[in-house]
Each structure stands twice: as C-alpha cells, then as structure tokens.
C-alpha cells in the first residue's frame, strides 16, 4: 500500500517556466547581453541552480558563476510567484490522495524558501512536507527523498516519486522508490518512455489511478 507520495515541483505540480525565464533574462539584462527564449532555457531545467545558470547563460567565466547565481536568486525571489500556476487538476489529485491517508511531499532543486512558499500559495494545506535546495544534496541524490520518508515513518517500498524528468526518475531509483513520469511537464512522454525505469502517465486521472492501484 502506498503511504507517501513525493512530487517534483517544476513541470510536475506547476508550470514555473515563465518566472524562471524572467529571472534568467533579468541577469542577462543586468550584464547587457542577449536574452534567451523559453525553448532554450527549457533544456536545462531540473538541475541545481548553479548548473542551471551556467548552462542557460553560456560563456560566464567560472570565477563569476557565484555572483551570477546570487543575482539570479535575487531576481527570482521577487518574481517566482508572478506567473507560475498549477497544472489543471493537480489540486484534485492531491486532495484525493490526502483523503486516502497518503502523506504528501514536494521535493525540488529550487531554493528551499521558494519551494515552501509555492507549495503554500498553490496548494494550501495539502502538503505535509516541502523541501528545496540547500538542506540536503540536490536531486538525483536520494538524501532529501529518504529524509522525507523518514519523517513520515514510511519505507521506500511504501512510497512513490512523481516527476517529469530524468533527474526525478534517477532520484527515485537512488532512493529505492517507485517512479512515475508525467508527460505534461518539460520533457514529454517519448523522453520518459525512452528513459525507462518509470511508469508514464498523460493525465491527472491516470496519475491518481497509478498511485492508488499499482501497489
């Protein structure tokens, strides 16, 4: 029986790309360099913040990476609640799981404060645990996921990890948790299917059914 479900945030629970793009282009504008578009930035979402900034703004001197990352964080902290929105139907899935006694957590490589605030704004009262970067090693390291399960008193075999990327699937594998890939996120059905190691779902109904019935 599934007792806990851990969700990725970006591309799984919510579409965060518009605000992420605003922050990336904000640091580009500060330095008077060309801005980038969503298709370009989309390639690098899911890694930790330093890796994301380095990849999204090619050519940054290595010695300047910490400064660029800090500026990105400052800009994102001001805009991350502007355009981000949940994927339609996600609140219903979360409520249905809670009604069945399933513990819910969100685990992201995004800054911890942003993760906690987004969880509260988009899904008030639905998550038992929200965890972002800076507390444990970033995904796909399993430390954070295992810490969440430990706080719930739940074994990995009693949990499921839901995400939209290889980072999430590998996090689940590293933690010994069953993985579900959602196709509405930033990588798509074909990518997840080719990746292997996870069930792939295309709708919210399929997601709920997979969590509750494939134990």
* Domain range 4-15+85-213, its CATH number among 3.40.50.1000, 3.40.50.700, 3.40.50.1010, 3.30.420.10: 3.40.50.1000
Looking from the CA of 15 toward its CB, the CA atoms found within 13 Å total 9
Rounded to an integer, what distance in angstroms lies between the CA atom of residue 149 and that of residue 177?
Answer: 10
Give the contacts of 184 (CB within 8 A, at least 6 positions apart).
11, 87, 164, 202
pLDDT value of residue 215: 56
Give the pLDDT confidence score for residue 31 in this predicted structure: 86
How does pLDDT run across 118-147, given as a tens digit for each residue? 999 999 999 999 999 999 999 999 999 999
Average pLDDT over residues 188-193: 96
* The predicted structure's pLDDT at residue 214: 67
Confidence of residue 198 (pLDDT cuts 50, 70, 90): very high
Could you give the CA distance from residue 163 to residue 24 in angstroms, rounded to a whole number?
A: 23
pLDDT digit string (tens) for 20-56? 999 999 999 988 999 999 999 998 988 788 989 999 9
Is residue 163 a contact partner of residue 12, using CB atoms and an 8 Å limit? Answer: yes
**Which of 97 and 47 is assigned the larger pLDDT?**
97
**Domain boundaries along the sequence of the chain:** 4-15+85-213, 17-79
The residue written with tokens 């940054």 in the block is 60
Where would I find the H helices in the chain? 17-30, 38-42, 49-56, 65-79, 90-99, 112-122, 143-152, 166-175, 189-195, 204-213
Q: Which of 85, 117, 101, 108 is nearest to 161 (CA)?
A: 108
> Is the N-terminal amide bond of 189 cis, ω within 30° of 0?
no
Coil/strand/helix, residue 103: strand
Examine the pLDDT at 148 and tell me if it is beyond 70.
yes
Q: Tell me the pTM.
A: 0.94
Would you call 82 helix, strand, or coil by DSSP? coil
* pLDDT at position 189: 97
């Amino acid at each position: 029986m599934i007792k806990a479900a851990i969700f990725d945030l970006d591309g799984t629970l919510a579409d965060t790309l518009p605000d992420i793009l605003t922050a990336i282009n904000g640091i580009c504008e500060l330095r008077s360099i060309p801005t980038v578009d969503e298709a370009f930035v989309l390639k690098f979402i899911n890694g930790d913040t330093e890796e994301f900034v380095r990849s999204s703004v090619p050519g940054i001197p290595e010695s300047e990476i910490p400064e660029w990352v800090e500026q990105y964080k400052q800009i994102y902290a001001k805009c991350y609640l502007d355009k981000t929105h949940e994927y339609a139907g996600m609140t219903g899935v979360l409520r249905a799981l809670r009604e069945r006694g399933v513990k819910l957590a969100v685990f992201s490589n995004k800054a911890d404060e942003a993760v906690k605030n987004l969880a509260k704004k988009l899904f008030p009262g639905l998550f038992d645990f929200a965890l972002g970067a800076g507390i444990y090693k970033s995904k796909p390291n399993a430390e954070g996921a295992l810490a969440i399960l430990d706080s719930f008193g739940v074994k990995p075999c009693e949990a499921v990890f839901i995400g939209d990327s290889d980072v999430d699937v590998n996090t689940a594998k590293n933690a010994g948790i069953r993985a579900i890939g959602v196709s509405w996120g930033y990588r798509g059905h074909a990518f997840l299917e080719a990746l292997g190691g996870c069930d792939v779902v295309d709708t919210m109904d399929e997601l709920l059914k997979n969590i509750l019935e494939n134990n």
